[in-house]
Amino acid sequence: MQGRIFFEDNPWPEGHALKTLDVSCHLFPERIDLLLDLKSEDYSETRAIKTEDDEDNFLPEFEDIPEWQHPDSWYNYHACTLSNTYWGIDMRTPINEPNTMFSMQAISGKTFIFNPVKTDETGIVDPTHQWDSDAQAFHIYLRGHDAVANHAITFIAQENDLLSLNWTGLVANAYIGDYHFKHKFRCEAKDVPFLGYQCSLMKGEVRREAETVPPVSVREAYHRNSASQLIENADVLNFYPRTNPHGTDWLSARPERPSAWPIKETD
């Protein structure tokens, strides 16, 4: 996987390299949700920016500038995590269409919109826009626990079942009390593997340390039946049962069990 994430007007116009980008889906009996977990390299790894002279005084260009543009305010928070799995799933992110068999290759070229907001001609949201942090599809740790909205996510199928991704959106510096979505971000990545489908819990399913209820064979039959109703070529997917009571069952084309961050397995 190769990719970068860019934050408009921050100190690094060249963007930040991605450390990881996990793309998977959440399989429910009646729908498929998109799961994304992105982590950047440390901001300091992008390019070292000297902000002080030899006497520890700020260089003139770094005096009296907004925190968003000051490298030190980024260094304090190390790196970016942008995800709807890392902190648990709270909102639906459906990407399948009714009466259409799903595959990541089949959705190539389609753009998915989450948490849309009305913007002006500059692409920035009205500062009076009201939003609820509990209604955000994705969460971000950027310069602290900030907020993201107005996501537009497009996948392009590559050879060898890999994907390219283009993801744009807006950031609000919520961690410091600024709830105005006024900073643009863009992520571009290629050669991204699709990990597969993390399976939701069966109705009435119980997870215990010493016992698996229901047994693996029953769960596999249930998830394969759900997949057959929704996913193209579902019969060729491998089933990987969870390896601990709080893990996740998977259906995947990969030859080994995917290792993405386990989701909070609730609807």
pLDDT, tens digit, 9 for 90 and up, residues 136-194: 999 999 999 999 999 999 999 998 889 999 999 999 999 999 999 999 999 999 999 99
Q: pLDDT value at position 60?
A: 66
| pLDDT value at 220 more than 70 | yes
Percent of the chain whose pLDDT exceeds 70: 93
Is the backbone peptide bond immediately before 214 cis, with ω within 30 degrees of 0?
yes
Q: pLDDT value at position 120?
A: 86
Q: Where are the beta strands (DSSP E) in the chain?
A: 2-7, 16-27, 32-40, 81-83, 111-114, 139-141, 145-157, 162-172, 183-199, 206-207, 212-213, 238-240, 250-252
Q: pLDDT value at position 266?
A: 47
Backbone angles phi, psi at 176, to 5 degrees: -105, 15
Q: How many helices (H) and strands (E) does the chain have?
A: 3, 13
More confident residue, 50 or 99: 99
Q: pLDDT value at position 267?
A: 39
More confident residue, 56 or 36: 36
| DSSP 8-class letter at 174 | G
State the pLDDT confidence band at 96, using cuts at 50, 70 and 90: very high
Least confident of 15-24, 220-229, 244-253: 244-253
Closest CA to 26 of 37, 40, 10: 37
| pLDDT value at 208 more than 80 | no
| pLDDT value at 14 more than 60 | yes
User: 238-240 and 139-141 as β-strands: parallel, antiparallel, unpaired?
Assistant: unpaired
What pTM was computed for the model?
0.92
State the pLDDT confidence band at 212, using cuts at 50, 70 and 90: low
Least confident of 62-66, 72-76, 163-167, 173-177: 62-66
Percent of the chain whose pLDDT exceeds 90: 66
Mean pLDDT of the chain: 90
State the pLDDT confidence band at 55, using cuts at 50, 70 and 90: low
State the pLDDT confidence band at 264, using cuts at 50, 70 and 90: low
Q: pLDDT value at position 64?
A: 75
Span 201-221, average pLDDT: 81
Q: pLDDT value at position 1?
A: 95
